[in-house]
A and B are shown apart, each in its own frame.
Chain A
C-alpha cells in the first residue's frame, strides 16, 4: 500500500525539480561556460567590471527599500485608522483602500500614465491653469517608479497590519492602560512590538515584489535601469551569458533579503505566539466631536477618491475613441468603439482568449500539484513531501524575470537525454511559466489549509468505510475549499495579468493581454489599451469577489 504512494511522491518531486530547479541550474551553467563548453569566469568578470551593472543592482536594492518605507508610511496609519476608529463611510472606504490590489502591475502603470503622464489628465489641468505649453514634469525615472510602487504596495501593509490588529486581544490595551501607560507609550511599547510579525511579513512581501517589479521600471524607467529591466535589455542585445550572470546577481539579492527577513521573522513569531490573545478585538473608538468627524470624513473621502483615480481614469480613457483626444483637458468624445473592437476584431479578441485559457490551465494545474504536495507533505509526512513543500515555495523567492530567463534557457534546446525539449515558441511555454509562478501561491494557501484540517476527520471517513478517493472528494476537498479558492483566485489573477514572464516567452499566437496592451500603447491606440486594462481590472475584481464568496459559503 505504501509503495505506490512512495512512487507518486517521488514522481512529483522529480517533476518539480525538472520544472523549477533544473532551469535555474542551467542558468548557472550558461553563465559559467564559454565556447566549447569549458568553464570560465569571463562573464562574471565582465559583469564585475561594468559600473552599469553595479548601478542597476544598487538601484534595484534602494528602490525596493524605499518602496518598503513608502508603503509602510501609507499602509500602517491607514490600517490603524480603519481598525481603531469609527466614522461615517468607514466600511465603504475600508474596501476602497484595498482596491489597488485589483490592478495588475501593467494596468496600474497604464493608469498612472493616463493620469500623471506628460499628456495625462493632471498635466492637461496644470497646463491649462498655469498657461504652460508643456507639462512641468516628466513621469520618468526613480520617482515615477516609486510612485507606482507606493500606490500598489501599501496594500500589503494595510492588510497585514489590519489582520494583526484584529488578532490583538482587547485585554492587551486594557492591561497596558491599567498599568498607567498612556496612548503613545502603549503604542510604542506594547502594540508595535506585538505587530512586528505582521510588519515583517508585509515588509518582506513588499521588498520581494518591488525587487521583482518589471512593469513600472520598463515603462517609466527611461535611462534609469534596475536589474530586471537590465536583464531584458542585455538579452535583447544577444549577450546571453552576461544576462545569466545578471540573473544570478538578482537571485542572490532576493535570497539574501529573504534570509535576513526570515531570521527576524522567526524570532518574532516565537515572541508573538506567547503574547497575542484569543483575538477579541477592542471596540472601535467612535469619533464624536462634530469638527473631528467632519475633518476625518473630508480627509478619508478625499483619500478614497485619490485611491480610485487610477481606476476611474482607466475607465474614462477606455471610452475615448482612437485619435479624438489631442490637446483638450478632458476628452471631447466618448463611445463604446474600443470595446466593440475587442469583441468584433478577431485579432484583438485573441489575446483575451489566450490569457483566459492559459491562466485557467496554469491555475488548475497548480491547484492539482499543490493538493498532491499537501497530501505528501502534511499527511504522509514523507521526506519527498518535505522537499516538495520547499520546492513549491522557491519560485516565490526568485523574481519572475529570472524564471522567464531560466525557462527560456532550458526549453529552447532539443536534448531529450538532458530532459530538454523545445517549448519556447510553442503554445506550451507560457502556461508552463504561469504554472511555475503560480505554484508558491496555490501551494502556500493549500498546504496551510491542509495543516489546519483535523486529521481525525479523514480517519473518521476511513472508519466509516470511505476509501481514499471518496474521502478526498467528500471530506478533504470540501473542507479545503476556502484555501483552494483563496489560492486559485490569487493565482489566476496573477497569471491573467502577467507581463514580466510573458514579455520574454510569448509568441504571436499566444500573445497575452498584457503584451497587447503594450503594443496598443506603442501604436498610440490609447483607448484600446485602456479597454484591455479595464477588462483585466474587472476580471481580477470579479474573480476575487467570486473567490471570497464561494470560499466562505457552505
Chain B
C-alpha cells in the first residue's frame, strides 16, 4: 500500500447547533477520483470547502503528501475548484479566465498564452480565448471552469456538483469526458454529487455521507454488494427494507422469518451470526423472484409494474402490508394478481440483514 496523497483526518465543522461535517476521515491515493455522495444537506459542500480552505475546521486536519495544510489559506493551497455555478469571471473573456491562476503563479505572459491554449484544448475549446463568458452555453461554461481550475496544475481538483446545471442528455456525455480527462492528467480529485449514477460513473471510490458523517467508503461494487448500513443500501441502488425475525442459523447463513415464510440470508464472509430476534432485511429487486401463488412462497398482490428490459420490476404488497419491489418475467402478471415471492435462484447477494436499531 503506497502512502496516501490526500488525507482528511477527523474533519469537523459546526454551524451553531448543526454539525455539518462530523469527524470525517478519508484518504486518497495519488490520481484517485473520490466521489462524495449524499443527499442534500448531508455536508458535501462543507466538506469540499474545508478541503479548499474556504472554511476552517473546528477539529481535524487535512494533509497533502504527509504535509499538513489545514491552516493554509486557499490562496497558497494550490487546490483547484470548480464551483456548482462555475463562478466564471463575467467581465473577463475565456482566455483571461483561464489565465487568471497562471498570472497568480507568476508565469510570464509568453508562457501563459501557450498554457491557456493547452488547457482549452484539454476541454475541447481550442480557439475560444476571445469569447465572452455570456456567449457560451452551459456546457461550454462548465468546461471553461474546468480548464481554469486545471491550468495552474493544482495538487488536488475539487468539483462541487459539476454537472447539476446541465441538461440530462449532456450530463452523461460530459461525465465520460471529465473522467477520461482527469484520469489522463492523473490529478487527485474529490467531487461532490447527490446522484448515485454520477458517483458510480466518475468515482474510483465513493464515500457516502449522511448528516455530516461518513457511512461507508468503497468502490461502487462494494457499496452495492456489501452496504455497511441500511442507509447506504437504500441510497445506493434500488431496494426495500422489511422487518423480519432472525430465528437461527440455516445452511447458507442466517435463517429469518418473514410473515410466516422462512428464508436463508447469506452472511458476508467472516461476519458474526446475528443474534436471534427482530432485525431489518434490505432486499434488492433482483434478490427475489415472482412466481404464481405457491405454498412455500410469500403471498402478495401486484400493485404496479414497470418494464425494465429482460425482466419487469413489480411492486407488490404482502398480506401484512409490506411493500416490496421484486423482479419477474415481463408480462407474466397483471395488476391485482395474487402472486408468490421466492428468493431468487441466482445465488448470493441482494439480501442484507441489519440489527433493528441500525437505521
Q: Which residues of A contact B (CB under 8 A)?
A: 1, 454, 456-457, 459-467, 470, 474-475, 478-479, 554
B54: CB under 8 A from chain A? yes
Contact B83 A464 (CB under 8 A): no
Q: Select B91's contact among A459, A465, A478, beta carbons within 8 Å.
A: A478
Contact A479 B100 (CB under 8 A): no
Contact B83 A459 (CB under 8 A): yes
Contact A459 B87 (CB under 8 A): yes
Contact B91 A462 (CB under 8 A): no
Contact B100 A464 (CB under 8 A): yes
Query: With A465-B152, A466-B75, A467-B75 given, is the CB distance from A460 to B81 under 8 Å?
Result: yes
CA distance A461 to B89 in the complex (A): 9
Query: With A454-B85, A475-B89, A554-B91 given, is the CB distance from A461 to B80 under 8 Å?
Result: no
Contact B81 A463 (CB under 8 A): yes
B30: CB under 8 A from chain A? no
Q: Which DSSP category, helix, strand, loop or mixed, fits chain A's interface?
A: helix
- 5 tightest A-B CB contacts, nearest first: A465-B104, A464-B101, A456-B87, A460-B87, A462-B74
Between-chain CB contacts (< 8 Å), 25 pairs: A454-B85, A456-B83, A457-B87, A459-B74, A460-B81, A460-B87, A461-B89, A462-B54, A462-B73, A462-B75, A463-B75, A463-B79, A463-B80, A463-B149, A464-B101, A464-B148, A464-B149, A465-B75, A465-B78, A465-B105, A465-B152, A466-B75, A466-B101, A478-B91, A479-B91
> In the assembled complex, how far is the CB of residue A446 from the closest CB belonging to chain B, in whole angstroms?
17
Q: Select A457's contact among B77, B80, B84, B89, beta carbons within 8 Å.
A: B89
Question: Would you give the 0/1 interface string for B102-115, flagging 1 where the beta carbon is closer than 8 Å to chain A?
Answer: 01110000000000
Q: Which residues of B contact A (CB under 8 A)?
A: 52-54, 73-81, 83-85, 87-91, 100-101, 103-105, 148-149, 152
Contact B89 A463 (CB under 8 A): no
Query: With A1-B73, A454-B85, A454-B87 given, is the CB distance from A463 to B105 under 8 Å?
Result: no
Residues of B within 8 A of A474 (CB): 100
> In the assembled complex, how far is the CB of residue A479 from the closest CB belonging to chain B, in whole angstroms?
6
Query: With A454-B85, A456-B85, A470-B104 given, is the CB distance from A463 to B74 under 8 Å?
Result: yes
CA distance A454 to B85 in the complex (A): 10
Residues of A within 8 A of B81 (CB): 459-460, 463
> In the assembled complex, how far is the CB of residue A427 from the closest CB belonging to chain B, in whole angstroms?
38
- In this complex, what residue of B is CB-closest to A461? B100
- In this complex, what residue of B is CB-closest to A470? B104
> In the assembled complex, how far is the CB of residue B6 from the closest CB belonging to chain A, in whole angstroms?
16
Residues of A within 8 A of B74 (CB): 459, 462-463
Residues of B within 8 A of A462 (CB): 53-54, 73-75
Residues of B within 8 A of A1 (CB): 73
Residues of A within 8 A of B80 (CB): 463-464
Residues of A within 8 A of B75 (CB): 462-463, 465-467
> In the assembled complex, how far is the CB of residue A461 from the closest CB belonging to chain B, in whole angstroms?
7
Residues of B within 8 A of A454 (CB): 85, 87
CA distance A461 to B85 in the complex (A): 14
> In the assembled complex, how far is the CB of residue A428 from the closest CB belonging to chain B, in whole angstroms?
36
> In the assembled complex, how far is the CB of residue B91 from the closest CB belonging to chain A, in whole angstroms?
5
